[in-house]
Amino acid sequence: MSTEEGASNTSRRTFLAEVIGACVAFLAMLIGIPAAGAAVGPALKQTQSGQITVGRADSFQVGVPTSAESTTTTRDGWLETTATVSVWVVKQPDGSFVVYNGHCTHLGCAYHWQADLNQFVCPCHAGVYAKDGIVMAGPPPRPLDQLEATVVDGMVEVEYVNYRLGVAGKVPV
């Protein structure tokens, strides 16, 4: 056996080893990337189920702001958190609903309805809002955050969203 034959056998063996190694690497990548995505993907996602039910449509009086509470579920990766949220519901004469997020747009304090003065009042920094959510006094930078509301099977359902506090624009958090 000459040295040339030995060199060609070694190069054939090296070539086959490289081809097999490349095939194994390709298969590992083909299987590994989706597996890694399935394992890590949920940790990178944050979701909040925003649809809440706040009560029966016929339980609200026309023109009377009423506080309502419900629960939302936030999923951050594998961690699921349930929280109680509050909203203010105002039934309109035409049967539709105006619903406000229960947090003041200034710093997120809970506000209340003051029936004798026909206004919403935030006790933290003297924010005052009209029944239609417009700022009447105090430091709030924008009107109350109105939420989308619909009536489904006699129940008032609201798309609950929190917005960035202390800014003039309505920016979802």
pLDDT in tens, 25-80: 998 888 888 877 777 766 555 545 578 999 999 999 999 999 999 988 877 777 88
Nearest one of 58, 116, 51 to 87, comparing CA atoms: 51
- Which pLDDT score, from 0 to 100, does residue 11 have? 85
pLDDT (tens digit per residue) in 145-164? 999 999 999 999 999 999 99
CA distance 129 to 62: 19
CA distance 67 to 84: 13
Given a cut of 70, whether residue 141 has pLDDT beyond it is: yes
Across the range 13-21, mean pLDDT stands at 89
Question: Do residues 156 and 60 touch, judged by C-beta distance below 8 A?
Answer: yes
Give the side-chain half-sphere CA count within 13 A for 75: 10
Q: Which CATH number fits domain 47-159: 2.130.10.10, 3.40.50.720, 3.90.25.10, 2.102.10.10?
A: 2.102.10.10
CA distance 93 to 41: 47
Any idea where the domains of the chain sit in the sequence? 1-44, 47-159
Q: Are strands 66-76 and 97-101 parallel, antiparallel or unpaired?
A: unpaired
Q: Does 167 or 37 have the greater pLDDT score?
A: 167
Q: Are strands 127-130 and 135-137 parallel, antiparallel or unpaired?
A: antiparallel
- Which pLDDT score, from 0 to 100, does residue 44 have? 58
pLDDT (tens digit per residue) in 88-127? 999 999 999 999 999 999 999 999 999 999 999 999 999 9
- Which pLDDT score, from 0 to 100, does residue 74 have? 78
The token pair that represents 120 in the structure block? 């919403």
Signed CA dihedral, 132, 137, 143, 149: sign only: negative
- Which pLDDT score, from 0 to 100, does residue 122 have? 96
Q: What is the DSSP string of 71-104?
A: EEEEEETTEEEEEEEEEEEEE-TTS-EEEEESB-
Given a cut of 50, whether residue 1 has pLDDT beyond it is: no
Report the SS3 class of residue 136.
Answer: strand
In the chain, the N- to C-terminal Cα span, in Å, equals: 76
**5 — phi, psi (to 5°)?**
-65, -40
